[in-house]
């Protein structure tokens, strides 16, 4: 039960972030993209309930994939970098599936694909590098704290 | 239960004599509490019962209503519950790192921050324990990094 609440909590967090990005995007390019994308059918006025539901599904998929790839079992059997690569590929595959399934934009348009790929790679890389730097600092602090704790306890 | 305390200035070593009809689980728990003061704990290996030095224990795991002590000399079984051990061993730098695991901070070889605020703990015997988010935060607090 606790894990389900944790999953809901994380899904809502991802969904909130996605909605914020789409709110900004719809204000910026909503009117010009409303004929080309099902996500912006109402232009800069609002986001459709169908789009909101699709973004919620995407958030749920991302959260489930993240939980699975970073499960205790996976942490034990696989180093961090291969897990990140797997997560990157799986989320990208889900994204492509949803673009095609819900016709977020036409499959034969090159520019939206390129922009989506750039945005995805950039956001994934930026968040990964940030987390890595934070964890590197934390690892250093924990190692120092453990060493001094062990010395003082002897 | 009758308790008699003899204070004798000439006694070389403090000793405890316990008289009972039989070794009940209650008496065992009482004995265990006294042994822990001496950093020892009774545990079974096969049919024989032996006294384990707490400094030898890497981690303690609860599996299917049994509690196991993992040491360099093998695995030992105890009748005690994990929550009882958690309380009694807290003073000896044992900490809960998972729902079913307590580990000795003295026997940790390395700590590594993981995704979702978990911590990968590598023990001196090479065994790896993944501390879940809640217990990882407790570990951080204990080490003073949070």
Q: What mean pLDDT, rounded, does chain B reach?
A: 88
Facing B120 at nearest CB: one of A75, A143, A153: A75
Residues of B in contact with A135 (CB under 8 A): 113-114
Q: What is the pLDDT of residues A111-135, one digit of tens each?
A: 889 988 999 999 999 999 999 999 9
Residues of B in contact with A83 (CB under 8 A): 115
Give the contacts of A87 (CB within 8 A, at least 6 positions apart).
A65, A66, A69, A70
Which has the minimum average pLDDT: A125-134, B10-19, B36-45?
B36-45
Res. B21: pLDDT tops 90: no
Short-list B74, B102, B77, CA closest to B88? B102
Q: Residue A132: what are its φ and ψ, rounded to 5°?
A: -60, -45
Shortest distance, CA A55 to any CA of chain B (angstroms):
22
Q: Which DSSP string corresponds to A14-36?
A: HHHHHHHHHHHHHHHHHHHHTTT
Q: How far is C-alpha B131 from the chain's CA centre? A: 17
Using a pLDDT cut of 70, give the percent of chain B over it. Answer: 100
Which of B105, B110, B115 to probe the A interface (max A CBs under 10 A)? Answer: B115
- The pLDDT of residue B109: 95
- The pLDDT of residue B102: 95
The interface pTM score, or ipTM, of the predicted complex is 0.78
Contact between chains at B112 and A83 (C-beta distance less than 8 A):
no
- The pLDDT of residue A134: 93
Q: Does A138 touch chain B (CB under 8 A)?
A: yes
Which has the minimum average pLDDT: B17-21, B36-40, B93-97?
B36-40
Q: Does A78 touch chain B (CB under 8 A)?
A: no
Res. B135: pLDDT tops 90: yes
Facing A149 at nearest CB: one of B105, B115, B119: B105
- For residues B100 and B124, the answer to whether their CB atoms sit within 8 Å is no
Torsion angle in degrees (nearest 10) through CA of B5, B8, B9, B15: -70
Using a pLDDT cut of 90, give the percent of chain A over it. Answer: 64
- The pLDDT of residue B87: 87
Q: Grade residue B130 by pLDDT with cuts at 50, 70 and 90.
A: very high
Res. B23: pLDDT tops 90: no
Q: What is the mean pLDDT of residues B16-32?
A: 82
Q: How far apart are CA A20 and CA A34, in angstroms?
A: 18
Res. B36: pLDDT tops 90: no
- The pLDDT of residue B97: 95
- The pLDDT of residue A47: 83
Q: Which residue of A has its CA nearest to B104?
A: A150
Res. B18: pLDDT tops 80: yes
Both tokens of residue A55? 């973004």
Q: What is the mean pLDDT of residues A147-151?
A: 90
Which has the minimum average pLDDT: A58-72, A113-127, B38-52?
B38-52
Q: Which helix (H) or strand (E) holds B97?
A: strand B94-98
Q: What is the pLDDT of residues B91-129, one digit of tens each?
A: 888 999 999 999 999 999 999 999 889 999 999 999 999
- The pLDDT of residue B92: 87
Q: How far apart are CA A41 and CA A35, in angstroms?
A: 7
Shortest distance, CA B84 to any CA of chain A (angstroms):
22
Res. B70: pLDDT tops 80: yes
Chain B residues at the A interface, defined by Cβ less than 8 Å, are 93, 105-106, 108, 110-116, 118-120, 128, 130, 132, 140, 143-145
Which has the minimum average pLDDT: A23-27, B56-60, B69-73?
A23-27
């Amino acid at each position: 039960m606790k894990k389900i609440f944790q999953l809901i909590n994380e899904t809502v967090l991802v969904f909130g972030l996605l909605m914020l990005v789409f709110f900004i995007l719809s204000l910026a390019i909503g009117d010009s993209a409303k004929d080309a994308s099902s996500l912006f059918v109402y232009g800069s006025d609002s986001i459709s309930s169908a789009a909101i539901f699709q973004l919620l599904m995407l958030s749920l998929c991302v959260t489930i994939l993240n939980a699975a790839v970073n499960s205790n079992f996976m942490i034990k059997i696989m180093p961090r970098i291969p897990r990140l690569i797997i997560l990157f590929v799986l989320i990208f595959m889900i994204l492509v599936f949803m673009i095609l399934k819900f016709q977020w934009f036409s499959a034969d348009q090159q520019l939206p694909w390129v922009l989506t790929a750039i945005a995805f790679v950039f956001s994934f890389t930026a968040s990964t590098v940030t987390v890595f730097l934070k964890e590197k600092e934390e690892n250093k602090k924990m190692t120092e704290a453990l060493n001094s704790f062990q010395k003082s306890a002897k | 239960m009758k308790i008699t305390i003899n204070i004798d200035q000439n006694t070389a070593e403090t000793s405890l004599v316990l008289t009972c009809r039989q070794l009940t689980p209650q008496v065992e728990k009482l004995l265990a509490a006294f042994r822990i003061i001496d950093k020892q704990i009774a545990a079974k290996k096969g049919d024989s019962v032996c006294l384990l030095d707490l400094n030898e224990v890497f981690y303690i795991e609860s599996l299917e209503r049994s509690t196991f002590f993992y040491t360099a000399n093998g695995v030992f079984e105890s009748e005690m519950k994990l929550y009882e051990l958690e309380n009694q061993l807290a003073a000896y730098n044992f900490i809960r790192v998972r729902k079913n695991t307590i580990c000795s901070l003295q026997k940790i070889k390395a700590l590594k921050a993981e995704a979702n605020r978990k911590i990968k703990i590598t023990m001196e015997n090479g065994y790896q324990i993944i501390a879940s988010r809640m217990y990882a935060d407790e570990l951080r607090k204990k080490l003073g990094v949070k």
